[in-house]
Structures are given as C-alpha cells and as structure tokens.
Amino acid sequence: MLWPFKTRVVVEPCFPIGQYVIDTKIDGLQGLAPLSAAELVALNTAVQFQDEQIWHAPDADFMGLKWDTILGTVGGAIYKIAIQWTGPRHHVGKTYRDILIYCTKYYGKSKKGMLWDTSDGNIVVDSTNIGDKGVLNVFVTTRRVRQFKRI
C-alpha cells in the first residue's frame, strides 16, 4: 500500500546500449563472432538456455565511450547485453557516477547495490579499481529470461 503522500515512480524500459536493445533480433547485425570454447568455459556459466548463443559484438557507443560488447541471444533475440570499459580510474569513477545518476532518475533508487528493475528487465552496474586503472561493467538483461528453457 502506498502512503498517501508518495507517488509511484513510472519505471521505464531498459535503455539501449549503443545500437543494441534487449528483446530485438540480431538479424542484420554485422561483425558478430561466437565466443570460443575456451571463452565459454572461462565464463563458467551456471545456467545455460536452449538455443542460446553468446557473441562478441562490435563496440557499443555508450556514455561517450566505446565499450567492449558481448551479446547473449536465445532464438536469435538479444536477452543480455554485457559491456566493459577499462580506463583511467578517475574517468571510470565519473562514468560510474553518471550511470548511477541516470538510472536513479529513470528507475528510482537502487534497492540492491547497483541493480535496477525496469519494465522489461534489469540493469546491473559494477566497477573495480586495479591500480591507477578502473574497469566498469554494465549488464542489461531481459525479463523474458524467466521463460527460457534451461539445459
């Protein structure tokens, strides 16, 4: 029950990351390459789905930066977008804060660290510092993942 003086935040869908949008088909996307067997083992995925493929994709333009990009697909549709950017620690920190501000504005306050539920999925942001460098990861996952058949 909502308190009479609080308004319900309208939750938006996940934002696109560059040219990539969850729940869209990859038909026509150029430059996709499947992960190698060794890379798939390194992912150490606890859950796999029927008709799942994981791809290296061309860099995504996001927040004014070019990000390394991996796409997870089921049935040819994007269910997960995973991007990573490595750079100077101070720049990673600024970008991390910019994403935090954006997500808080459009999705409300994060309830579990840097995790936001959206109308069509969720967004997770993670940052790690390694010396004078930083690594920033953003993951966007569709809500439809609950309906996929596990193998």
- Which residue has 């101070």 as its token pair? 90
Give the pLDDT of residue 111: 74
Give the pLDDT band (50/70/90) at residue 46.
confident
What pTM does this model have? 0.90
Q: For 89-135, what is each residue's pLDDT tens digit?
A: 999 999 999 999 999 999 998 877 899 999 999 999 999 999 999 99
Distance, CA of 20 to CA of 142 (rounded, Å): 12
Whether 100 contacts 125, CB under 8 Å: yes
Q: Which CATH number fits domain 33-37+49-144: 1.10.1200, 1.10.3470, 3.40.50, 3.30.200?
A: 3.30.200
**Conformational region of residue 44, where left means phi above 0, alpha means psi within -120 to 50, and beta covers everything else:** left
Would you give the distance in Å from CA 28 to the centre of its chain?
A: 21
Per-residue pLDDT at 42 exceeds 60: yes
